Structure 1
């Protein structure tokens, strides 16, 4: 569903309509408050995280890390013009065993990503008497970089140190330091014992210019009281239900909807272009070997080029160099 200017009160009829339309699909809800200048963006990303897990054959903690990054990138598309081809890339470079983590999302709700080490072993920690994934240990210390491509000129790039490695806190720190937007960010991925993603999602809540101190204090109080996002999703809470919790004491209005999906823009033509960039001698070696497979980092799809296809690419390269 393309973004629609809604500004509808989030009443029971609207909630019923959302449930009937989206059912179990992934989607996001952007809402504001009628009384003050507050905004929230809540996403359910269970299906797309499971698609990513299967495509990359992720270990449980790798699925949790990438799932958080994918949801985080989608939340950051609030910095883009909705419904356009504008996109941003979230890159987490830590010294932990999972290595590089990359997630790219566009303003239409399409996201893709990967981790450097998809088979990283699972680290757990005790929190509130429960065992949880130790995401910070898997990610480590390093930097978070956001690259925004508005479709014109040079992409805008900004980096901040990782303050926790938990990803949500790191994105909140980025928004404060690089965008000067104080924000509350929550991300979560719950993985079953069989490795399947059970629920995943996140939310972003922030004051807009003109928000009163009283409204900001109430928003902060609400966010502190909200259970973990995975707990809410497991209880079958939908994005619009979570909006109501974030805006408890206010009158939430629906501003926009966005259907979300894991989608990669790779193709055999793009893979072919990467071969064209190789020196002629390397292409000749690949021909001798009988062909080559080019794998997309973002989705794991492999494109095979036979010796005959490589010979055609080599001829195309020679003609282009003349």
Structure 2
């Protein structure tokens, strides 16, 4: 089944909720970056959250970036998403290896201490930037904290990635549930009770839960209205033309140095690892453009 996100409201619109199935998305990222199991889990969780948070944005041109800068061996993560839930991302150190912690992949250990940045480019003069300190490095907890502190929206974020023995992705997904300012006390209590019973999103995914049935677990005992369903996928929009612009932007001196070496150069896209080759002749043309600019 293709990956998708459901958007829903519950308890008479006192709650808004998102849930996602992202197995193919995370497996695509794993293949592109050849990530280790713990890096796959960390990046997969952030990609899943990125898809759901991207779908919260209103306009087709809006872009969301979630960036984690940390002192752990993974060194950092970057994920970018649009309002159609197209998402891409990478880990600074995709090869990080750590022993399991309590029988699970040690994502918190891979991240260590750090900062979470959420950047929303909505076509205004300046992008919105929210920043919080990592709480646990488990990503779901960190985003829960971010929503409460940077956006003042009480939320619960649950994310999971389960690996096969051959290190491919068995299943991935998650949910984001947010309460509105006018939420009634009994609705909030019920929601907190439901969430407290969910010990592992990964376990629910392993049991075969869909985004719809994930929300039924989180919002048990409430009326739920699915308002929208949309596909989500790992999608990179890189091209040779974009890489050319990046080379031109580095300036004449650096381009001249590349030409002086007399060899083709290879430039890889951070997000999908696609390699673009430029001959000396192509570099000379780009130098001509750089001089014009």
TM-score scaled by structure 2? 0.96
Q: How does 1:258-277 map to 2 (within 5 A)?
A: 258-277=230-249
Distance 2:290 2:125 in 1: 29
What is the CA–CA distance in structure 1 between the aligned matches of 2:192 and 2:76, rounded to whole Å? Answer: 32
1:43 aligns with 2:34: no
> How many angstroms apart in 2 are the aligned matches of 1:122 and 1:44?
26
Structure 2, unmatched stretches of 5+, are none
Gaps of 5+ in 1: 1-23
Aligned to 1:30, what secondary structure does the other structure show? strand
- Is the 1:85–1:108 Cα contact (8 Å) retained in structure 2? no
- Look up the SS of the partner of 2:104 in the other structure: strand
Can you list the C-alpha shifts for 1:174-220, whole angstroms capped at 9, x where unaligned? Answer: 00000001111101111111110110111011211311010011011
Greater alpha carbon shift after TM alignment, 182-191 vs 28-37 = 28-37
User: Is residue 52–residue 85 contact of structure 2 (8 Å, CA) maintained in 1?
Assistant: no
Partners in 2 of 1:245 and 1:107 — Cα distance?
Answer: 26
Give the corresponding residue for 1:312. 285
For 2:106 and 2:250, the matched residues in 1 are separated by 41
RMSD: 1.4
Equivalent position of 2:77 in the other structure: 101
Q: Does 1:69 align with 2:46?
A: yes
| In 2: Cα distance, 1:267 partner to 1:38 partner | 40
Partners of 1:289 and 1:201 in 2: CA distance? 48
CA distance in 1 between counterparts of 2:254 and 2:198 reads: 57
TM-score (norm 1): 0.87
Q: Is the 8 A contact 1:59 1:122 kept in 2?
A: no
Q: Does 1:55 align with 2:55?
A: no
In structure 1, what is the Cα distance between the partners aligned to 2:247 and 2:51?
A: 31
Shift of 1:235: 1.8
Correspondence for 1:299 among 255, 272, 290: 272
2-structure distance, mates of 1:116, 1:25: 28
| Cα deviation, residue 32, structure 1 | 0.8
CA contact under 8 A between 1:142 and 1:161: conserved in structure 2? yes
* Structure 2 SS opposite 1:202: strand
83, 86, 89: which one pairs with 1:110?
86
Aligned with 1:251 (options 223, 235, 239):
223
1:209 and 2:149 aligned:
no
Partner residue, 1:90: 66
Residue 158 of structure 2 aligns with which residue? Answer: 186
Asked if 2 retains the 8 angstrom alpha-carbon contact of 1:123 and 1:137, the reply is no
Q: Which runs of 4+ in 1 moved over 6 A?
A: none
Please state whether the residue corresponding to 1:124 is helix, strand or coil.
coil
Contact 1:32 1:252 in 2 (8 A): yes
Are the equivalent residues in 2 in contact too, given 1:123–1:138 (CA < 8 A)? Answer: no
Quick one: distance in 2 between partners of 1:165 and 1:141?
7
Partner of 2:198: 226
Q: CA deviation at 1:108?
A: 0.5
Please tell me whether the aligned partners of residues 160 and 174 of structure 1 are also in contact (alpha carbons under 8 angstroms). yes
What per-residue deviation string (whole Å, max 9, x for no partner) do you get for residues 31-72 of structure 1?
A: 112545112100111101000000001011110110011112
- SS class of match (1:90): strand
Which residue of the partner structure matches residue 113 of structure 2?
Answer: 141
